[in-house]
Amino acid sequence: MIHVPRCQFQQLERRLQRRLSKYGFIAQHIDPKNKEAIECSWKKFRKKDHLLCDKLYQMFHTRCAYCESETEQESGAIDHFWPKSPNSQNYQHGDPAKMFEWENLVWSCTICNGFSCKGSRMHWDILDHRHQPALGNPLLLNPCVEDPICYLEYDLEEIDTQGVLNHVSFCSVAPRDDLIDADLEKARYTIHLLRLNKRVNTLLHRRQDKISHLRRWINDLSRGVPANVQPPGGLTIAQYLTNFLSIQSPFLAPARQMLLDIHWSDNPPPGWARDLAVEWRKQGYQKIYDPLIQCIPSLANVMQDWCIPISR
Ligand SMILES: [Zn+2]
């Protein structure tokens, strides 16, 4: 999960603003217990909608906001962060009045949006004695509000100290170890609800592939690429790595963490990032890092855009 800044409602196309406002006004008068009316209203809106779908798909860079998988516009889903229909999974606290609120709409894959994952599940941080979210906020991290890098951290140790591959833990995600209790609860709940470590074939293995590749490429680049290693599709290494790290590319969160580990390698975390940093320093850190940035100018932008400004 990666932070995605949301544009203001007023910046949306006028026709979309009008449609959301009109349907939102009607939704405020739907009885929250009337699930059929809620679903009917949403289906009616979606039947003629392409503006909202286009906007969310672009804004979330074609990836699922929760698990960072790539999506197709036709087969992705619009998720209601605060569920629209009340049911037992959300303590009967879905809210049809939020059904057309711009800030409540999130682009997601069908798995995250589906029954086995988030779907219409939601828990709140404060519940009263009847389990109602009286004053509470959702426990799930909102990628448009919070920067997940402040809450979640990936295990980037591909090989353990015995030289054995960490098949299970490599690229798994965990709460950062410096969180206060309330943030820790949010991080844990997010990992649990979205099953970020449980979707082994569809998610974990694909994250592992990405980071494994990235690490190899950066290692090769920093040491001078062997002549027999060529990117697929006739691309140059710079083009390949640029695509690999573009904002549309899946699983940027662990990639971002890896680049940060390298970038901040004056005081590196334990493990391979430190080894790499030591190696780089031995050869002259700037000597390696500068050509890397020169070779891939977009890497400097990537670092600038989504690595450096961390608000914490
Ligand atoms: Zn997803």
So where are the chain's domains?
1-144, 148-193, 200-306
Task: Give CA 312 to chain center in angstroms.
Answer: 18
Q: How far is the CA of 283 from the centre of ligand 1 (A)?
A: 41
Q: How far is the CA of 244 from the centre of ligand 1 (A)?
A: 19
Q: How far is the CA of 289 from the centre of ligand 1 (A)?
A: 34
**How far apart are alpha carbons 289 and 281 in whole angstroms?**
10
Q: How far is the CA of 196 from the centre of ligand 1 (A)?
A: 9
Rg (CA), the chain: 22
Q: Is 68 exposed, middle or buried (0-12, 13-18, 19+ CB in 10 A)?
A: buried
Q: How far is the CA of 52 from the centre of ligand 1 (A)?
A: 18
Q: How far is the CA of 118 from the centre of ligand 1 (A)?
A: 9
pLDDT tens digits, one per residue of 28-39: 999 988 999 999
Write a three-state SS string for the chain: CCCCCCCCHHHCCHHHHHHHHHHHHHHCCCCCCCHHHHHHHHHHHHHCCCHHHHHHHHHCCCECCCCCCECCCCCCEEEECCCCCCCHHHCCCCCHHHCCCHHHEEEECCCCCCCCCCCCCCCECCCCCCCCCCCCCECCCCCCCCCHHHCEEECCCCECCCCCECCCCCCCEEECCCCCHHHHHHHHHHHHHCCCCCCHHHHHHHHHHHHHHHHHHHHHHHHCCCCCCCCHHHCCHHHHHHHHCCCCCCCHHHHHHHHHHHHCCCCCCCCHHHHHHHHHHHCCHHHHHHHHHHHCHHHHHHHHHHCCCCCC
- pLDDT reported for residue 93: 75
Question: What parts of the chain have a pLDDT lower than 50?
Answer: 227, 267-274, 276-277, 280-281, 283-288, 305-312
**How far apart are alpha carbons 244 and 219 in whole angstroms?**
15
Q: Is 148 exposed, middle or buried (0-12, 13-18, 19+ CB in 10 A)?
A: buried
pLDDT tens digits, one per residue of 166-222: 888 999 999 998 899 889 999 999 999 999 999 999 999 999 999 988 887 776 765
- pLDDT reported for residue 216: 78
Protein residues near ligand 1, an ion, with CB under 5 A: 64, 66-67, 109, 112
Q: How far is the CA of 138 from the centre of ligand 1 (A)?
A: 18
Q: How far is the CA of 198 from the centre of ligand 1 (A)?
A: 13
Q: How far is the CA of 228 from the centre of ligand 1 (A)?
A: 36
* pTM of the predicted protein model: 0.83
Q: How far is the CA of 107 from the centre of ligand 1 (A)?
A: 9
Q: How far is the CA of 229 from the centre of ligand 1 (A)?
A: 33
Angle at 256 between CA 255 and CA 258, to 5 degrees: 65
Q: How far is the CA of 114 from the centre of ligand 1 (A)?
A: 9
Q: How far is the CA of 250 from the centre of ligand 1 (A)?
A: 11
Buried b (16+ CB within 10 A) or exposed e, 182-215: ebeebbebbbebbbbbebeeebbebbbebbeebb
